[in-house]
């Protein structure tokens, strides 16, 4: 069995060479699953097809550099990939100083328009909220999902109204930090 060279130039044993192939196969599977949907998403938001291709290619290279992504759930991978594409488009738009236009003549075969951006934001937010403590999740659920007032939330959770206010404040603060760490907000 032959050995392969790593990027640093050292030789690996045959066993670690198989691990490199497994990583390449996982990245290839990630590409097969996500390249077309990411390209369609990018095309709808970029001024040119070439820019969309560049952004998707850059996103998949970033995924290759983050092997921990491959071990995450499909939803987490989807949220991460679409967030990276969205941020890259925003960065390109800011660099160019012009709002991206929709390109539809070449991407009709890929477009599955159905609120994709809303879905990506929902998945990202759900993953972020899942990282909060139970108390913080419950207070945000009552306040924002159910639309309860402070008094209604306090009664439902059997805590003082002041506790609801402070938990809401700290929950939103923690949520912001989590979303920043996920690269969703800056």
Q: Judge whether 132 and 140 are in contact, CB under 8 Å.
A: yes
Same domain, 19 and 62: yes
CA distance 63 to 69: 7
Same domain, 36 and 92: yes
pLDDT in tens, 84-103: 999 888 888 777 665 445 55
The pLDDT score that the predictor gives to residue 171 is: 92
Nearest to 58 by CA among 78, 85, 37: 85
pLDDT in tens, 168-177: 999 999 988 8
Same domain, 104 and 24: yes
User: Which of 68, 86, 113 represents a domain boundary (last residue)?
Assistant: 113
Same domain, 49 and 75: yes
The pLDDT score that the predictor gives to residue 13 is: 40
Same domain, 42 and 83: yes
Q: How many CB atoms lie within 10 A of CB 53?
A: 15
Same domain, 97 and 154: no
The mean predicted confidence, pLDDT, of the chain is 78
Domain hosting 99: range is 12-113
CA distance 171 to 159: 16
Q: Judge whether 27 and 70 are in contact, CB under 8 Å.
A: yes
| pTM, to two decimals | 0.44
CA distance 175 to 125: 9
Mean pLDDT value across residues 19-29: 65
Answer yes or no: is 96 within a domain. Answer: yes
């Amino acid at each position: 069995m032959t050995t392969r060279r790593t990027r640093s130039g050292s030789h690996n044993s045959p066993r670690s060479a198989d691990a490199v192939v497994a990583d390449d196969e996982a990245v290839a599977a990630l590409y097969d699953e996500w390249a077309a949907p990411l390209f369609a998403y990018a095309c709808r938001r970029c001024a040119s097809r070439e820019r969309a291709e560049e952004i998707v290619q850059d996103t998949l290279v970033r995924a290759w550099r983050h092997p921990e992504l491959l071990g995450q759930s499909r939803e987490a991978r989807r949220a991460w990939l679409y967030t990276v594409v969205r941020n890259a488009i925003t960065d390109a738009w800011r660099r160019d100083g012009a709002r991206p236009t929709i390109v539809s003549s070449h991407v009709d075969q890929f477009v599955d328009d159905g609120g994709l951006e809303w879905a990506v934001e929902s998945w990202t937010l759900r993953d972020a909220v899942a990282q909060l403590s139970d108390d913080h999740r419950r207070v945000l659920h009552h306040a924002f999902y159910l639309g309860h007032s402070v008094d209604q939330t306090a009664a439902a959770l059997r805590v003082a109204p002041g506790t609801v206010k402070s938990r809401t404040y700290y929950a939103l603060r923690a949520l912001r930090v989590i979303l920043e760490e996920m690269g969703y907000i800056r």
